[in-house]
Amino acid sequence: MTAIDKTEVERKLDAEWQALREAIESFSDEELEAPGAVEEWSVKDLLGHMAFWANKAAHDLDAINAGEEGAIQLAGGQEGVDAWNARESEARKEKPLPEVKSEWEASFEAARQALSATSAEKLVIEVQGWNMFTRFAEDTYRHYREHAAQIREWKREVETTEE
């Protein structure tokens, strides 16, 4: 694998985070808690979901930086990812919106700090088939992009049905 341009990774992380924040800020608190943004999930549910994965990304980079590759847990395929997502959704179901939003914001900061502390050379380390850059990108800014698009689409649907 070629070298990773860490400055570009940081730029993408910040840009996708900002785009996601803007999409989130277009909703009232009531809308954030309404089901249906993605299947039965509300935007609040998505915030908790993204917080889990961004915190995992931070943890995984911290593990690489500590030389503890074995501390990186893998879901073991889509079935495992689905199980993790269900577990994390259930864990946050009763949490109030401000608490979930705070966790979501803190997860971005944790991921940003972990990335900052990780050398470009460590981003190319491969752990069970994926290098750390790909793991980080999938769990953070590519994830933000995916859900921001879904949230914007749901916003358009909500606005269309309200007219």
For residue 139, give both structure tokens. Answer: 């769990």
**Dist CA 160 CA 163 (whole Å):** 6
Give the pLDDT confidence score for residue 158 in this predicted structure. 81
CB 13 within 8 A of CB 115: yes
Beta bridge partners of 38: 41
* CB-neighbour burial class of residue 155 (10 A; exposed 0-12, middle 13-18, buried 19+): middle
pLDDT digits (tens, 9 = 90+) for 11-67: 999 999 999 999 999 899 999 999 999 999 999 999 999 999 999 999 999 999 999
The backbone region for 34, taken as left when phi is positive above 0, alpha when psi lies in -120 to 50, beta otherwise, is beta
Per-residue CA distances from 95 to 31, 88, 100 (Å): 16, 12, 7
Query: Which is nearest to 44 in space by CA: 52, 32, 31?
Result: 32
Give the pLDDT confidence score for residue 161 in this predicted structure. 74
Residue ranges per structural domain of the chain? 6-162
**Dist CA 70 CA 53 (whole Å):** 18
Higher-pLDDT residue of 106, 160: 106
Percent of the chain with pLDDT over 90: 87
Give the pLDDT confidence score for residue 80 in this predicted structure. 95
Give the pLDDT confidence score for residue 55 in this predicted structure. 98
Residue at token pair 């803190």: 106
Chosen CATH of 6-162 out of 3.40.50.720, 3.90.1420.10, 1.20.120.450, 3.30.420.40: 1.20.120.450
